[in-house]
Structure 1
Amino acid sequence: MNLHIMPDWHAYSMTLPEFNDTVHQTQLFLSQSQQVELILVDYLPQLREILSQKRIESAVTWSAYDLFQRITLKDEKPVALADFSWPDDAEFIRMNDRIEVWVKNTHFATVWVQQSPLMRFDRIDLLTDDIRRQELIIDDRGFISRVTTFNDDNEPIRRDYLTPSGGVAVQEDCVSAVVTTQQTWTPQTTFTNMAELVAAGLAHHLKSVPQNDYLIVSQSEMTTFLIHKVTPKQPVILSYQTERTDRQLEQHVPLQISGNVDFSVIDTPEQAEKLSAQSEQQSTFAIIPPYTVTARQNNVAVQPVATIYWFAPSIAMADFEVVSTLLASHPNVLVLIETTQSHALFDAMIEAASKTAANAHGIIDVDSQLAYKTRFQFIASQNEAQKMQYMANSRVLLDLGDTPNQYLQTQAIAYAVPQINRIQTAYLQPNQNGKLVTDRSELSGALNFYVDDTHWVSDVKESTHDIAAEYSDDMVWIKWQQIFNKIK
C-alpha cells in the first residue's frame, strides 16, 4: 500500500513541527512497514533536519519547491563562512546566536546560527546603513536557496528562489504577489501568486501518482485551497487536528468538507462534535488520535518530591489559590506550571506567602522562605521530548482547561501518571486513572488524594495499561486500515 501525505508545515520553514498529526501519522505508517511519500507544498530549507529529528527520514519526499528550483540534491551539506564571498577587510565577531560581519567599522552582515540541535548557519542578513536590505536563506543541502529584498521600512518587496547554481528560478513580487517563472513542466510563465504556482506543481506531480493510492491531507486553509484547485483523482482523506481547526473556527474560517474528500479523520470526539455543528455537509469520518501510547517506566516511586505538572496556558486565580494552599501544607510537593500567561501577579503572591513559610522545625528564616518559593516553577511551552521527560517524574498531571492537552494526556497514560481534568475526555476514566473535577470545590480533595501517599499506584497502572492498549501502534493502525477498506 502506498500512502501519500501532504503536511501542513506552512509555519515550519526554519523550525521543527511539534505535536503535528502528519509527523505522528508518518511515524506510525513507517512502523507498520508502509511505503510513505511526503508531498511537500511548503518552502522547507531545513527539511532534512525535520525528517531526521522526527525519525521519518525513510519516507520518500516530493517537494514543490525542489521542482520549481530544479533541485536534485538529497544529502545535507553544512556550509562554512569561507564558502561565501566576503570583502577582503571583513572582520567576524562571534556571538552566541550569530556572527556579525563588519567592514571598515560598518555593520555589513549578520550570519545567524541555528543553536539546536546542531550548530549551523541558516540565514544571512545583509545591511546598508544599519538597515536590513536582503535576507539570504541557506538550504541545509549547502546553497543559498532564497533571497528576500526589503525596502527602507523593512518590508519585503521581492523574493527570488534560486537554483543550486545561483540562478533565479522563481521571482515573487511581494507587493503585487505576482510570480514569474520559467518551468520545463508547464508553458505558463506568470502566476497570480505562489499558491497558484504550487497548485500547478502539485497537479503535475499527482499525474504520476497511481489513482488507487491514498492521499492523506492535513487540513489547513492552504491545503484545502489546493485540494479544491487540483481535484485529485486519488482517494483523499482529510486529517483534522484540534489545534488547527480551533484556530480556524475562532477566525470564522469555514471548514466544510468538500466533495473532493472521500473520508475525514478527526482527532477527538469533542472536535468531531464541533465540526459537525458548523458544517452544512455531513461527511463520513472516523475519530483517530494522532498520538499513540507506548507504556514507559515512571520514576514516581523513587522521587522524594511529589511533582504536580500543571498545564495551564491560562491560570485561574481560584485554581492557583487551591494549589498554593496544598503546597503550604505539603513541604514535599513541587508544582511545575507550563504557561504562556504572564505570572508576575502569581510571583507576587508567592513572595508574600513565603514570608510566613517555616521549615520542618517551625522556624521562619531566609532558607525556609527560599525553599517555599522554589517549589513554584513557571516554565515556558515545552516540546514533545521535554513533556515526556517531565511526565516520567511527575506524581500527577493537572490540566483544568476547556480542551485538555491531548499529547500530555497520552504521555500520562504511557507513564501511568494520574490526571486531574475539568473536562471529560476519552483519555480519562474517572476514579481509575485520574479524577474529574467538574466543581472547583473538588480540586483540593483530588490533589490531596494523589500527593498524600502512593496507595493508588497499582490501580492507576492497571487502568492505564488497559487504556494504553486501545491507543497502541497496532490498534491505531487497525483504525486506519478500516478507513482504507471503506474507501475501496
Structure 2
Amino acid sequence: MYYFLPSWHTNNKYEWNSSALPWYRNNKGIEFDDTISQLRMFNRTQEKSKTLILEYSPNLRGFLHRQDIYEIDYYSIFDDIQNISDTQMRPFDFMELNWPSGTDFSYTPFLVLARYKGEVIARIEFDSIGALLRIDLLENGKITRRLIFDDRGFLSSVIYFDKQECESYQKFLDLTGRWRICINYISTKPQVEVNSEFKEEFKHSCYKNIEDLIFEKFQSFLDNKTYQDDVLVIAAEEKRNDLLLEARYDIKIILSFFSDRYPIKDTNSLRQILAKADSCVTDTDYTNTEVKEIIAKKGCANKNIEQITPFDSRLRLGKSQRIRELKIFWLIEGLTQPEMRIVLRQLLLLMKADKRIELTVAAYSEYEMSTETFAQIANETIAKNGLAEYFTFNSENLTKSDSELNEIDKKSKKNICWQTIYVEDDIIKEVSDVRLIIDLSMQPNLFLQIAGISAGVPQINIVKTSYVEDHKNGLIIDQLDGLSEAVDYYLEGLAHWNNALMYAATKISEYSSSNLIKKWKQITGRNGKNSTQTNQGTTNRHSKLG
C-alpha cells in the first residue's frame, strides 16, 4: 500500500484548520500539487493507495471532486475524532433549521441574510458551487456562534465568540450532535478537552494543544494500520519537520519535493529530515541537484534520489497547425524588467514583419509583478521602438484575443493579450492552439513544459532541463538576444515544427502514468509487485506488535 501525506492548506488562522472560506473571500489560486497528480496516476493504474488527512477538512470531498480524485480512499484524523465514516457528499438545506417563526431571508449576490423582526440574526455563507459552508448567528449585530457544515450534509463544529467577537472555544460534533472534543482558544494549557462520554477512544482526557491530539491519532494509525512493506509518501514542507522527526515509522518514507513549497537550503532541519527518509522524489533538475548535494555533504550518498515529474502527459496534441494564426505563449516569470524589454522588443519586431503572429503574455495569479506594471513595460517598449501605430497593450483589452479585437475593428492596432493563470486548466486550454511556447526563466515552469509536450508544442528555454531537448522538442538559446532566430526556426514553415511534434509524441509515452508508476516501484523496490497487503506484510506487522 502507498500512503500519501499531502500539503493541502487554506489561508486559515490555524495550520490544522483546512475548512473552506466563503467563495468571495477565497483568493483564486493554484490548488494543484504533486500529491494530486501522484494520486491521479496511482488511481489510473489501479495501484492501491490511501491519503492521510491530518487537518480539519469539512469540505474535503468538494476539493477532491474539483481535482478529479473524488474516488480516492482516505483516512481523516478529524473523522476519527468525530466518529464519522460516511464519504458521500450531500446537500444541506439551511431552511430546515429551527428558525424563529416569521424569519425573513434576503438573498444578496454574496450571501443570505436571515432577519427576525427587522434585525439581522444570521449570515449564511456558501462555497463556489452554492453548497452551504457556515452560518454566523448574531445578537445585536455581533457574532455569537459560527456553525460550520460538512459537505456530507451535517453540522460539523460550532465556534463560540465572546462579547468582543473573538473566538472563545470550538466544539467538534459527531453525527448525533454530541460534542467529542472542545478546543479552548483563550485559556492556557490544557487547550483541548475530551468529552467524558468518549474518553475510552482517547489516551488522555485533555491535551496541551490540538497538535498533540493529531499526533496521537497519526501515530496510532501508523502503529495499527500499516505494514512493513508499505510506503509513506510525504509532501515535503517545513511545517512537517517536527512530525517527520518525532513519529515512529516501520515503513519506507519517501519525501516528495515540489515547486518552492520547501525552500532547498542547506539547513540543519533539512539535513535531518533527509536523513530520516529512505528515498526522495524531486520534480525538477534544479531541485534534484540541490538535494543530492546536501545529501552528499551529510555522508548519505547512497540514498535513493529520483527525479520523477509530478505531471503525467496524456495524448492531447494541439490544433495550432490547423489555424492560420501563429500564436506564441510567453510565460514572463523569472525575468527582470530589463530582460522583459529585450524579449518583448524582438517579439514585436517579428510580429510587425509577420501579421499572422499573435502574442499572449502570461503569469500566475501569485506572481509579484502586477498587470499594470507589465502594461507600462509593454507600452514603453512599443513607444521606444516606434511601434505605437502597430501595437497596443492596455487594461481594456487585456482579456481579449487579437482575433476578437479584429472582429470589433479591422483597422485597430494589434493587441498583446494578457493571461493570468489561476488553475492548471488555464494552461492546458491556452496551449491547445499555441504554435510556440517561450519560458526564459532559469527554472522553467514544470507544468508548462509537460503541457507543451502533451500538446506537441515546441518550447524555447535558456537552460537545459530533462523535459525539453535542444533541437528535438525545443531550442535552448544561450542569450536573450538570440530569441528572434529561435522563433523564426519554428515559425518559418512547418518542417522544424513537425519534427518537434513527432519527438513530443515519443516523450508522451515516456511520461505516461504507467511509466511513471514504474519509476515509483523502482525506488521502493516493488518492481513487478502490486502494492496491496501481502501475507509477508501481515507477518511483519504481527511480529512487530509481539
When the two structures are superposed, what TM-score results if normalisation uses the length of structure 1?
0.87
Indicate the residue corresponding to 2:316 in structure 1.
296
Indicate the residue corresponding to 1:386 in structure 2.
426
- Deviation at 1:253? 6.4
1:61 aligns with 2:106: no
Indicate the residue corresponding to 2:20 in structure 1.
14
- Deviation at 1:87? 3.2
Contact 1:228 1:258 in 2 (8 A): no
Give distance in 1, aligned partners of 2:459 and 2:317: 16
Partner AA of 2:237 in structure 1: S
Residues matched between the structures, number? 477
2:515 aligned to which of 468, 475, 481: 475
- Deviation at 1:480? 1.0
1:422 aligned to which of 462, 476, 479: 462
- Deviation at 1:77? 1.1
Indicate the residue corresponding to 2:152 in structure 1.
141
Indicate the residue corresponding to 1:331 in structure 2.
355
Give distance in 2, aligned partners of 1:231 and 1:357: 66
1:28 aligns with 2:56: no
- Deviation at 1:418? 0.8
Give distance in 1, aligned partners of 2:36 and 2:475: 31
Contact 2:58 2:156 in 1 (8 A): yes
1:174 aligns with 2:194: no
Give distance in 2, aligned partners of 1:370 and 1:423: 37
Give distance in 2, aligned partners of 1:152 and 1:380: 42
Contact 2:241 2:269 in 1 (8 A): no
Give distance in 1, aligned partners of 2:101 and 2:158: 23
What is the DSSP-based 3-state SS (H/G/I as helix, E as strand, rest coil) of the residue aligned with 2:175?
coil
Contact 2:58 2:149 in 1 (8 A): yes
1:233 aligned to which of 239, 246, 250: 250
1:275 aligned to which of 284, 288, 291: 291
Seen in structure 2, the aligned counterparts of structure 1 residues 413 and 367 have a Cα distance that, compared at 3 Å, is: same
Give distance in 2, aligned partners of 1:158 and 1:321: 59
Give distance in 2, aligned partners of 1:252 and 1:105: 61
Give distance in 2, aligned partners of 1:80 and 1:155: 28
Seen in structure 2, the aligned counterparts of structure 1 residues 17 and 216 have a Cα distance that, compared at 3 Å, is: farther
Indicate the residue corresponding to 1:38 in structure 2.
51
1:358-403 residue CA offsets vs partner (Å, 9 max, x unmatched): 89xxxxxx9467442xx32222223122221112111111212232
User: RCO greater where, 1 or 2, for CA within 8 Å and sep 6 or more?
Assistant: 2
1:242-299 residue CA offsets vs partner (Å, 9 max, x unmatched): 23123x7599963643554222212223102222344553333222111111221211
Give distance in 2, aligned partners of 1:88 and 1:385: 47
- Deviation at 1:155? 5.2
Partner AA of 1:482 in structure 2: Q
Indicate the residue corresponding to 1:362 in structure 2.
none
- Deviation at 1:478? 1.2
2:227 aligned to which of 207, 210, 213: 210
Seen in structure 2, the aligned counterparts of structure 1 residues 382 and 448 have a Cα distance that, compared at 3 Å, is: farther
What is the DSSP-based 3-state SS (H/G/I as helix, E as strand, rest coil) of the residue aligned with 1:79?
coil
Indicate the residue corresponding to 1:398 in structure 2.
438
Seen in structure 2, the aligned counterparts of structure 1 residues 380 and 126 have a Cα distance that, compared at 3 Å, is: farther
1:441 aligns with 2:481: yes
Give distance in 2, aligned partners of 1:472 and 1:31: 11
In structure 2, runs of 5+ residues without a counterpart are 11-17, 22-28, 393-407, 530-546
Indicate the residue corresponding to 1:242 in structure 2.
259
1:460 aligned to which of 489, 495, 500: 500
- Deviation at 1:137? 2.4
Contact 2:460 2:474 in 1 (8 A): yes
1:119 aligned to which of 117, 130, 140: 130
Seen in structure 2, the aligned counterparts of structure 1 residues 44 and 313 have a Cα distance that, compared at 3 Å, is: farther
Give distance in 1, aligned partners of 2:481 and 2:192: 60
Give distance in 1, aligned partners of 2:420 and 2:469: 29
Contact 2:253 2:277 in 1 (8 A): yes
- Deviation at 1:409? 0.6
What is the DSSP-based 3-state SS (H/G/I as helix, E as strand, rest coil) of the residue aligned with 2:318?
coil
- Deviation at 1:408? 1.1
Contact 1:100 1:107 in 2 (8 A): yes
2:390 aligned to which of 354, 357, 370: 357
Indicate the residue corresponding to 2:26 in structure 1.
none
Contact 1:267 1:290 in 2 (8 A): yes
- Deviation at 1:65? 0.6
Give distance in 2, aligned partners of 1:77 and 1:274: 46
Partner AA of 1:287 in structure 2: Q
What is the DSSP-based 3-state SS (H/G/I as helix, E as strand, rest coil) of the residue aligned with 1:474?
helix
Give distance in 2, aligned partners of 1:330 and 1:127: 63
Seen in structure 2, the aligned counterparts of structure 1 residues 35 and 328 have a Cα distance that, compared at 3 Å, is: same
Seen in structure 2, the aligned counterparts of structure 1 residues 358 and 377 have a Cα distance that, compared at 3 Å, is: closer
1:347 aligns with 2:375: yes
Partner AA of 1:138 in structure 2: F
Give distance in 1, aligned partners of 2:171 and 2:159: 6
Give distance in 2, aligned partners of 1:324 and 1:155: 55
Seen in structure 2, the aligned counterparts of structure 1 residues 475 and 380 have a Cα distance that, compared at 3 Å, is: same
Give distance in 1, aligned partners of 2:409 and 2:269: 54
Give distance in 2, aligned partners of 1:222 and 1:349: 38
In structure 1, runs of 5+ residues without a counterpart are 360-365
Seen in structure 2, the aligned counterparts of structure 1 residues 432 and 198 have a Cα distance that, compared at 3 Å, is: same
Give distance in 2, aligned partners of 1:59 and 1:450: 42
- Deviation at 1:130? 4.7
Seen in structure 2, the aligned counterparts of structure 1 residues 146 and 330 have a Cα distance that, compared at 3 Å, is: farther
What is the DSSP-based 3-state SS (H/G/I as helix, E as strand, rest coil) of the residue aligned with 1:202?
helix
- Deviation at 1:406? 0.7
Alignment of 1:59-98 (within 5 A): 59-98=72-111
Give distance in 1, aligned partners of 2:161 and 2:267: 29
Seen in structure 2, the aligned counterparts of structure 1 residues 358 and 67 have a Cα distance that, compared at 3 Å, is: closer
Partner AA of 1:397 in structure 2: I
Give distance in 2, aligned partners of 1:31 and 1:113: 32
What is the DSSP-based 3-state SS (H/G/I as helix, E as strand, rest coil) of the residue aligned with 2:273?
coil
- Deviation at 1:46? 1.8
Partner AA of 2:4 in structure 1: I
Contact 2:312 2:516 in 1 (8 A): yes
1:12-71 residue CA offsets vs partner (Å, 9 max, x unmatched): 643897331111111212222222121111222122223333333333211101011111
Over the residues paired in the alignment, what is the CA RMSD in angstroms? 3.1
Give distance in 1, aligned partners of 2:455 and 2:509: 13
When the two structures are superposed, what TM-score results if normalisation uses the length of structure 2?
0.79
Seen in structure 2, the aligned counterparts of structure 1 residues 322 and 346 have a Cα distance that, compared at 3 Å, is: farther
1:49 aligned to which of 62, 68, 73: 62
Contact 1:358 1:368 in 2 (8 A): no
Indicate the residue corresponding to 2:24 in structure 1.
none
What is the DSSP-based 3-state SS (H/G/I as helix, E as strand, rest coil) of the residue aligned with 2:429?
helix
Partner AA of 2:452 in structure 1: A
Query: For structure 1, which segment, 342-351 or 395-404, has the greater mean C-alpha deviation from structure 2 after superposition?
Result: 342-351
1:100 aligned to which of 110, 113, 124: 113
